Amino acid sequence: MPEPTNYTVCPRCECPRLEHVHSSPVPGVWDVLQCARCLYMWRTSEPARRTRREACPEGFRLREEDLAAAVETPAVPPLRGTL
């Protein structure tokens, strides 16, 4: 099983800023990591298609512009009394 330190980039958006979120209750079995940019979260014991940049399917990859273009849902309404 890969060590968490083997992960250098987010499998989805290729951001190098990764955070360790949780370790398996049975020590050393898996870790949960998260991308600091796109917030993708994965367990190190998941298949490579979910955990490795090189194996991440094209359709699931994200670019920085995808994040910037994300539509606000629902839209934040105006504060009362400001209209």
Partner 1 sequence: MPHDDLRGFLDALDKAGQLLRVTDEVLPEPDIAAAANAAPRLGDAAPALFFDNVKGFTDARIAMNVHGSWANHALALGLPKETGAREQVAEFVRRWEAFPVEPEWRENPPWAQNTLEGDDADLFRVLPLIRLNDGDGSFYLDKAAVVSKDPDDPEHSGKQNLGIYRLQVKGRRRLAIQPVPMHDIALHLRTAEERGEDLPVAITLGNDPLITIAASTPMKYEENEYGLAGALRGAPAPIARAPLTGLPVPWGSEVVIEGVVEGRRREFEGPFGEFTGHYSGGRSMPVIRVDRISYRTDPVFEHLYLGMPWTECDFLIAANTCVPLFQQLKADFPEVQAVNASYTHGLVVIVSTNKRYGGFAKAVGLRVLTTPHGLGYATTVIVVDEDVDPFDLPQVMWALSTKMNPAGDLITIPNLPVVELAPQARTPGIVDKLVIDATTPVAPDHRGTYGTPVRDLPETADWLTRLQALAARR
Residues near partner 1 (CB under 8 A) are: 12, 21-22, 24-26, 29-30, 32, 34, 38-43, 45-47, 49-50, 57, 59-60, 62, 66-67, 70-74, 76-80
Tell me how far apart the alpha carbons of residues 9 and 38 are, in angstroms, rounded to a whole number: 12
Q: Toward partner 1, which CB reaches closer, 6 or 24?
A: 24
Least gap, CB of 39 to partner 1 (angstroms): 6
Of 63, 55, 60, nearest in space to 37 by CA: 63
Nearest to 30 by CA among 68, 3, 61: 3
Q: How far is the CB of 8 from partner 1 (least distance, A)?
A: 20
Q: How far is the CB of 18 from partner 1 (least distance, A)?
A: 13
User: Cα angle vertex 47, ends 10, 70, to 5°?
Assistant: 40
